[in-house]
Amino acid sequence: GAGVSQSPRYKVAKRGQDVALRCDPISGHVSLFWYQQALGQGPEFLTYFQNEAQLDKSGLPSDRFFAERPEGSVSTLKIQRTQQEDSAVYLCASSLAGMGPGTEAFFGQGTRLTVV
Amino acid sequence: GNSVTQMEGPVTLSEEAFLTINCTYTATGYPSLFWYVQYPGEGLQLLLKATKADDKGSNKGFEATYRKETTSFHLEKGSVQVSDSAVYFCALFHTGGFKTIFGAGTRLFVKA
């Protein structure tokens, strides 16, 4: 596709419900990132994949958060037993190569998750 | 740890005014520095970048110079347009890790 695509764009979940957020990166992009953006804040790093390997998951806030990229392309971020503090915009980004100085990442429009 | 601090918004300017959005960072060594822009209803886009001290990044009339002595990367534009209304994020990437660290963002409104 032309850019990074995320779905759904909006998701309302009841507290305790599980959710799955999808990211389709730009075709051929090696690196994929997930970020969480709270209202009025900058994006906060969650996790990083290089192809199918999850090389950094240090930003995942709890063991309720899980991400996968089984075939090195599409990625899914899963949140189990959602809590109100999980309400945020979840951003996916991809880049052509592995991360290095000046590497540009291309961002999707995000999924806005609201937990009620 | 590494961090980015940018001026709080919103910033409201009239068309053709001069823009400065301040950004300072804390990091060891020599991070790469970025400005990203988020237009209404769109995803984050890279605006400009600089990868070493004294480099100047520029794009669409915007400029920022990587100043190691002041640990700053201020964004400037000589004459803003209504179409520049957006949220601007300063960010850094430190080699050896995988994460880009963002500031909180500065919302810019430009009035006709």
What string of DSSP letters covers B67-111?
Answer: BTTTTB--EEESS--GGG-EEEEEEEE-BTB--EEE---EEEEEE
**Contact criterion met (CB below 8 Å) for A115 and A15:** yes
Report the gap between the CA of B63 and the closest CA in chain A (Å): 16
Residue B42 has pLDDT above 90, yes or no: no
Per-residue pLDDT, B73: 98
Residue A81 in tokens? 């037993």
Contact B98 A55 (CB under 8 A): yes
Per-residue pLDDT, A17: 98
Taking the C-alpha atoms of residue A50 and residue A44, their distance in angstroms, rounded to an integer, is 18
Nearest to A48 by CA among A87, A101, A9, A98: A98
Contact B105 A55 (CB under 8 A): no
Confidence of residue A105 (pLDDT cuts 50, 70, 90): confident
Confidence of residue A1 (pLDDT cuts 50, 70, 90): low
Confidence of residue A99 (pLDDT cuts 50, 70, 90): low
Report the gap between the CA of A51 and the closest CA in chain B (Å): 14
Residue A101 has pLDDT above 90, yes or no: no
Residue A55 in tokens? 């090389």
